[in-house]
Amino acid sequence: MKKTYLYIVIATFCVSSAISQSYLDAARYSNTYSGVTARLVGAGNAFGALGGDIGVLAINPAGLADFKKSEFSFTFAFNQGNTNSILRGSGQSTSHNVEPSIDNIGFVISNNSRGWLGRSNFAIGLQQHGNLNEDFAFSGTTSGSITERFTELSNTRTPDELDNFEAGLAFESGAIYDFDGDLFYDADIDTMSLVDKSQSINRSGNVNEIYVALGGKINSNFGYGISLGFPIISYEEERAYFENDRDDNVAIFDRLNFDERFTTTGWGYNVKLGLNYTVKKTLRLGLAYHSPNFYKLNDTYNTTVGYAFTDAGVSEQFSSDSPDGNFQYRFRTPSRIIGSLGALLKFNKVRGFLNVDAQYVNFQNNRFNFTAFSDNPIEAQFEEDTNQEIEELLASALNVNIGGELAFQLNDQTGMRVRAGYGLVQSPIESESAGNVLSFGLGYRKNKMFIDLAYQRRDFTSTHIPFRILNESREQVVTNDTEISKVSITMGFKL
């Protein structure tokens, strides 16, 4: 069963409960893909057994030990996407805008002296672990209406008891009514009526992380690393849902709109631990543990319901707006384990590497805590049911990245590098298939300056359900086939 629907009625009745938290939000904030520098992106984000690039801190902080000199680097990225959304056979293609982002700004301070922990290096910076920008839209003609959800949220309650964000607005705007006063509500649209439906979803935001890290080597073979991170979430979403009786299939009903707007902001903390070991000069092993992210989050949200109808030749149109809602809570993502195998290559004057990373994460271990700042029993029930939903609908994942690099030394001070990689990334949602990630890259080294350029393409399929109802067989299921292209540029300077 997808949901315990009792909690929907309970939670929406309570004004202080947020309208947005669900297993989808848990998947969004925990499913990060950390290609933070162009070198990592170009090599398929496979770098866990290696080092010498500040992006390795997002995978295995033990790679920090391989820096021989201090360094400053920064990375710009540009993302372009396209989503084809299909509602029961009706397709609509939507392009995502090209939006620049700063994926990395970081300093490495190299210390060649040896202390009680061996030779160690220190790093501080900012990395982007999740780009949450996404736009898509769908349209089509199917049976049923969102008014079925509104009536389910309203039944057995008086008008004064209806919530202020969905059912109450639907009643005030005339989308649902209770003419006979039996507290079982009706609507002009029945479950068999054919209705034109459309929705546009605009999402923006990111997950950035401020970090400090220490990495070093006890001896020439054994390296260690630890990173303390402070992730910051900033997310905004607008949904505009619309129904229309274009062909006059439904008496009285003309059109309906349901608009939702909410933002999520907050911060957290985590720890990353890493080890690497050189078996031979050409074979390296890596192992890393990422603790959960422990977040404190705040949601603000509001909604609007509009309804237009024609009765006895008279057209009417009403609209009702919710108050501004606010909800504070805690959220914990799952931990991660990453194992890596790297091989160093040498062919005459050509050097390089090949690396494989395998990352295990159990998305069922996401947890919301809605009672951290409240002792409301309704929110306690909402918390229990939402976390149960996470266990039922999310899954564990084994993500595999493989990539490599070849370095060509042109002269004593100049070198060129080519890179390529592939990733198989499983969806955190049980019912969705794995996505593919392809990447290519180039690098240029001269004196104490370097430039890296990378291209990455991700393909994945996801589902979207614009509204939930008790009868799952009548839910409006939208299939999204998405392609995202990313171009990353890193510039760095040896100090």
pLDDT, tens digit, for every residue of 280-293? 889 999 999 999 99
Which of the pair, 414 or 242, is modelled with greater confidence? Answer: 242
Query: N- to C-terminal Cα distance for the chain?
Result: 58
With 0-12 / 13-18 / 19 or more C-beta atoms within 10 angstroms meaning exposed / middle / buried, residue 487 is middle
Residue 14 confidence class, pLDDT cut points 50, 70, 90: very low
Domains of the chain: 6-494 (2.40.160.60)
- Tell me how far apart the alpha carbons of residues 493 and 495 are, in angstroms, rounded to a whole number: 6
pLDDT, tens digit (0-9, with 9 covering 90-100), for 242-254: 999 988 889 999 9
pLDDT, the chain, mean: 90
Three-state secondary structure call for residue 364: helix
Structure-token pair, residue 342? 């790297």
Rounded distance, CA 449 to CA 208, Å? 26
Q: Which residues, other chains included, contact 172 with Cβ-Cβ below 8 Å and sequence gap of 6+?
A: 305, 318, 320
Tens-place pLDDT, residues 313-352: 899 999 999 999 999 999 999 999 999 999 999 988 899 9
The identity of residue 41, as a single letter, is: V
pTM for the whole structure: 0.90
CA 205 to chain centre: 9
Contact 435, 425 (CB under 8 A): yes
Give the closest residue to 127 by CA, choosing from 61, 192, 222, 180: 61
Spatial neighbors of 112 by CB under 8 A, at least 6 apart, are: 68, 119
Per-residue confidence (pLDDT) for residue 95, from 0 to 100: 67
Percent of residues, the chain, with pLDDT higher than 90: 72
* Burial class (CB within 10 angstroms; exposed 0-12, middle 13-18, buried 19+) of 475: middle
Rounded mean pLDDT of 109-118?
72
